[in-house]
Amino acid sequence: MPKKAKQRGPVNVKAVETLKKRMKPEPVIAQLSETFKALGDPTRTRILLALCDLALCVYDLALLLNMSQSAISHQLGVLRHLKLVKYKRQGRGVYYSLDDEHIRHLLYEGIKHVEE
């Protein structure tokens, strides 16, 4: 009767191998975490929450959040780059809005978690 194999590591060496194969591909994970990271800054969170209600220009956002125009513009750049917001020139200002309904859902899902 064979000696019982000494267990290497707590458990699931086999399960780990299976999981390794099922893991989402690297680029998907990278984009996923970048998206969450974009939502994970107070200023950007506030910008996105505001845009849930209404398209706003940089000037208005700066007013609303009581921050410098430059700071807002830099953050909008980040959100723009990640396609979380879209924008369109209109009159004097550039108006930003959520790019996608998914963004809204993400925010609401997050709020649900926080406010439970």
Degrees (nearest 5) of the Cα angle 67, 34, 94? 40
Binding mask 51-90 for DNA (x = CB under 7 A): ------xxx-------xxxxx-xxxxxx--------x-x-
β-strand pairing of 56-57 with 85-90: unpaired
* Contacts for 46 with CB less than 8 Å, ≥ 6 apart: 65
The site for a second copy (CB under 8 A) is made up of 9-13, 15-16, 19-20, 22-24, 28-42, 44-46, 49-50, 53-54, 56-57, 59-60, 63-64, 91-93, 100, 102-103, 105-107, 109-116
- Give the shortest CB-1-to-a second copy separation in angstroms: 23
- Give the shortest CB-95-to-DNA separation in angstroms: 7
| Phi-psi map region of 66: left, alpha, beta (phi>0 left; psi -120 to 50 alpha) | left
Q: Which of 17, 42, 112, 116 binds DNA (CB under 7 A)?
A: 42
